[in-house]
Structure 1
Amino acid sequence: MADHCSPTFADLAGQLGFSCEEAGGLVEFRSPFALENWTLPVLELTIVLGALLALWYAIVRLRRHGDPTNLVLWFGATAYLFVIEPPLYFPAAFGIEDHVDTMFAHNVFTVDFLWGRLPLYIIAIYPLMATMAFGIIRMLGIFRRYGVLIGAACVGYVHHAFYEIFDHLGPQLRWWEWSLDNPLNQPMFDSVPMGSVVVFAALWPMSLAFCVQYFVGRHVDDGKRFTGIELTWRTIVIGLLASVGTFLLPLPATVIGMNNTTIRGIVYALELAVLAIGAALVMIRQWTALRRGTATPPQYTDPFVQRFATLYLIIFAALWIAALPDFFAAINGETTNGDPIGNLWYTAACFVIATASVLATFTVPRSQATPEAPASAVSTVPS
């Protein structure tokens, strides 16, 4: 697959310590003890295990409670991944090399696909992160009270907090490398492109959540039953439309900042600020109303999300603590090994938001009638 080793990717791979031309095939396996550093297998195990548990719990919810929402979310996020990621890895194969050069390169992990481009954990992180963020908002009853759009915005906000904890740590620990010469990655927010901070951390999960709740979630909440065929086509549509939403939502920054990266960064920041402030106010208002008893208690609980989101925060806190000595020894934004560092204060704020979001799900009252799912939402999908 050497013909797909573009100069940019080959250079990024070299910086990460592997050769593009020698990177496997469709799938490649390595010893976890032969990776760049010990944090790579820890990251990989955490994310892959979490995604598998999320899938298992989604299947359990469907079989026991007739609620396919989590399963549609899981596969919808995966479908979105396979629409978005391959063109970024092989722009020449998709005929877009004149417009989109290689934006980044992942390091090699225990399991890799597509000639070193796609680690297994990247496939897993899409449904896992979406499940955690969506589950938190659903447990707080925000979709039921405020509707699909506002609920989706809150999902984007919570997803952003969880994702940026990961996003600002990866470059320092050589989980991936960004191409600084690619104009699409500009402007940078320390070691992270603003496009990643806003589009991939907040806007794509908002788009996905909107589609999932619109096509499936709200109907399940009202007791509608779906057949297997209905769920299949709705999941495919969700993956495709979520991709369209990811193109539409950042358009203000894309259009206004087309010829000026500084303006693009400002508009990105404004979009994120509007989303964050609005979502935070809604979440605080809903939590307060639930605690005071002035809002209807949510009918949905998700113990997997509560437990795994807690574990995720603990593991990433440990990874960040392990990275702090090199972080504080960095000069001009780079460690002594030449790796870029993220923004510690922004990450700390994201830790606070993510932790508060998880704690909120433990501190609100639950409906006594239906602790798991609406009783009428019995699926016709064969069990």
Structure 2
Amino acid sequence: MSAGCGPEVEAVTRGLGFDCHDVAPVVSVRAPWELAHWTMPLLEVLIIGGAVFAFVHAVRRYRAGDPVNLALWWTSLVYLFVTEPPLYFPEWFGLDRLYGFIFAHNQFTVQFMGDRLPLYIVAFYPVISQLAYELVRSLGIFARRGPVAGAVVVAFACQVFYEVFDQIGPQLKWWAWNPGNHIVNHPALASVPMTSMLLFASVSMAAMTYLVMRLAGGRARDGGPRRGWALVPRVLVAGVLTPPAMAIAGIPASLFGGDHPDTTAQAWVLGVELALVWLAGAWIVVAHLRSTGRGTDEPLSAFGRYYPAIYLCGLAVCWIGALPAYFGAHDGVTRDGTPIGSGPYALACFLAAGLLLAAQHAKRFARPAASVTG
């Protein structure tokens, strides 16, 4: 038996259409037209292209005197490599009793770590962090209300942009959750574990953004922005400290865990926390938009102007293609045997994301930005 390919892993990967015993240990490459679903190469182009766009934008900001975007881009990758390997191979880290086998990705064009880590997932971390940060920054919330309020709105923005992706993935076989894992994967909203919705889609990105703002966004001893190698240890520290922040947010629900978890109580706790993300984020945005002099010196970059809308349109195409099978599902499972996500919640996220973009594009600057441009 291949390392990391126990009975649960084997069952989940065979449901996705491949055998976890027959994988390349380091890297594998396959033709895009050989993938399990037509949306998969579209998703790869959307996310990998977005990561490149975000990197170019971050470098421009860095050269213009603002290192936060670039630091956040790299911190996202540090966070990825701190969190993803234990999720894929918990037995390697002695976490199999604590977390168990959680999920498996399908096979995409480029894959790493025994076909557990697709290249597009590597790209997704800097994409979602940059998308949310840039949206909040361009609204002037960081400049006017500080890093704490800005991080709260980042949590809200990440929630609505992430969940339009998270709620459709299992139906289209982008990945599959392990239904037998009652430690992490329950309770769930439709097919998506609520811990993933809260901790990964909101808390992690908010914590990471706050840490980067504090560690990399200040001034160096000479009074100028931090640059070069001085950013490296700060990026590493921010990436390593992000998972503990996630763990803190997960404590309330964990109080109802143990050998015999009360999933109903956990669902209520996680639901309340998710509601607080929505309410607090929306309240800060609305209060900011209603205030006077709201960050008129904040530029709207090319990345912020175009990519979030492109991202939403790309995911909308995937959802439209999935709707026939979604409406034809019985007991939450399509005729192809894949679980559906929550359409109402995804629709609410689409609407909220659209309103955030509308607020961003409705901004009118009193004068062109004098310093940093996108």
Secondary structure of 2:111's counterpart equals strand
1:94-105 → structure 2 map (5 Å cutoff): 94-105=93-104
Q: TM-score, normalised by structure 1?
A: 0.92
1:261-280 → structure 2 map (5 Å cutoff): 261-280=263-282
Give the Cα–Cα distance (whole angstroms) in 2 for the partners of residues 99 and 267 of structure 1. Answer: 20
1:4-23 → structure 2 map (5 Å cutoff): 4-23=4-23
Change (3 A) 1:83 1:338: same
Structure 1 contact 299–367 (Cα < 8 Å) conserved: no
CA shift at 1:227, angstroms? 3.1
Q: Which residue of 2 aligns with 1:366?
A: 365
Structure 2 contact 170–191 (Cα < 8 Å) conserved: yes
Cα distance per residue 1:254-280 (max 9 Å; x no partner): 224453121111111111111210110
Q: Which residue of 2 aligns with 1:165?
A: 164
Structure 2 contact 80–122 (Cα < 8 Å) conserved: yes
Give the Cα–Cα distance (whole angstroms) in 2 for the partners of residues 101 and 135 of structure 1. Answer: 35
Q: Which residue of 2 aligns with 1:132?
A: 131
Q: Which residue of 2 aligns with 1:151?
A: 150
Q: Which residue of 2 aligns with 1:381?
A: none
Give the Cα–Cα distance (whole angstroms) in 1 for the partners of residues 69 and 143 of structure 2. Answer: 16
CA shift at 1:367, angstroms? 5.5
Structure 1 contact 300–371 (Cα < 8 Å) conserved: no
Give the Cα–Cα distance (whole angstroms) in 1 for the partners of residues 256 and 369 of structure 2. Answer: 48
Structure 2 contact 139–295 (Cα < 8 Å) conserved: no
Structure 1 contact 27–113 (Cα < 8 Å) conserved: yes
Q: Which residue of 1 aligns with 2:33?
A: 33
Give the Cα–Cα distance (whole angstroms) in 1 for the partners of residues 173 and 255 of structure 2. Answer: 32
Give the Cα–Cα distance (whole angstroms) in 1 for the partners of residues 141 and 94 of structure 2. Answer: 42
Structure 1: which 5+ runs fail to align? 375-383
Structure 1 contact 140–298 (Cα < 8 Å) conserved: no
Letter in 2 for 1:210: Y
Q: TM-score, normalised by structure 2?
A: 0.94
Letter in 1 for 2:234: R
Q: Which residue of 2 aligns with 1:122?
A: 121
Q: CA RMSD in A?
A: 1.7
1:192-211 → structure 2 map (5 Å cutoff): 192-211=192-211
Secondary structure of 1:3's counterpart equals coil
Change (3 A) 1:102 1:366: same
Structure 2: which 5+ runs fail to align? none
Give the Cα–Cα distance (whole angstroms) in 2 for the partners of residues 242 and 225 of structure 1. Answer: 23
Secondary structure of 2:155's counterpart equals helix
Q: Which residue of 2 aligns with 1:91?
A: 90
Task: Say which is worse superposed, 91-100 or 309-318, in terms of deviation.
Answer: 91-100
Give the Cα–Cα distance (whole angstroms) in 2 for the partners of residues 60 and 363 of structure 1. Answer: 24
CA shift at 1:218, angstroms? 5.1
Q: Which residue of 2 aligns with 1:187?
A: 187
Change (3 A) 1:93 1:367: farther
CA shift at 1:214, angstroms? 1.5
Change (3 A) 1:371 1:263: farther
Q: Which residue of 1 aligns with 2:287?
A: 285
Structure 1 contact 155–206 (Cα < 8 Å) conserved: yes
Give the Cα–Cα distance (whole angstroms) in 2 for the partners of residues 285 and 302 of structure 1. Answer: 23
Secondary structure of 2:303's counterpart equals helix
Identity of aligned residues (%): 37
Give the Cα–Cα distance (whole angstroms) in 2 for the partners of residues 367 and 332 of structure 1. Answer: 54
Structure 2 contact 128–162 (Cα < 8 Å) conserved: yes
Q: Which residue of 1 aligns with 2:329?
A: 330
Structure 1 contact 299–372 (Cα < 8 Å) conserved: no
Runs of 4+ more than 4 Å apart: none
Give the Cα–Cα distance (whole angstroms) in 2 for the partners of residues 300 and 241 of structure 1. Answer: 30
Q: Which residue of 2 aligns with 1:240?
A: 240
Change (3 A) 1:219 1:153: farther
Give the Cα–Cα distance (whole angstroms) in 1 for the partners of residues 370 and 36 of structure 2. Answer: 45
Structure 1 contact 203–250 (Cα < 8 Å) conserved: no
Cα distance per residue 1:223-265 (max 9 Å; x no partner): 7321312111111111011122111122222224453121111
Q: Which residue of 2 aligns with 1:380?
A: none
Give the Cα–Cα distance (whole angstroms) in 1 for the partners of residues 290 and 217 of structure 2. Answer: 24
Letter in 2 for 1:228: G
Change (3 A) 1:85 1:196: same
Q: Which residue of 2 aligns with 1:306?
A: 305
Secondary structure of 2:168's counterpart equals coil
Secondary structure of 2:90's counterpart equals coil
Give the Cα–Cα distance (whole angstroms) in 1 for the partners of residues 69 and 295 of structure 2. Answer: 22
Give the Cα–Cα distance (whole angstroms) in 1 for the partners of residues 295 and 140 of structure 2. Answer: 8
Give the Cα–Cα distance (whole angstroms) in 2 for the partners of residues 194 and 47 of structure 1. Answer: 23
Letter in 2 for 1:32: P
Letter in 1 for 2:281: A
CA shift at 1:366, angstroms? 2.6
Structure 2 contact 256–263 (Cα < 8 Å) conserved: no
Structure 2 contact 67–227 (Cα < 8 Å) conserved: no
Secondary structure of 1:174's counterpart equals coil
Secondary structure of 2:176's counterpart equals strand
Give the Cα–Cα distance (whole angstroms) in 1 for the partners of residues 66 and 206 of structure 2. Answer: 21
Q: Which residue of 1 aligns with 2:348?
A: 349
Give the Cα–Cα distance (whole angstroms) in 1 for the partners of residues 130 and 255 of structure 2. Answer: 31
Q: Which residue of 2 aligns with 1:141?
A: 140
Give the Cα–Cα distance (whole angstroms) in 2 for the partners of residues 306 and 236 of structure 1. Answer: 29
Structure 1 contact 187–193 (Cα < 8 Å) conserved: yes
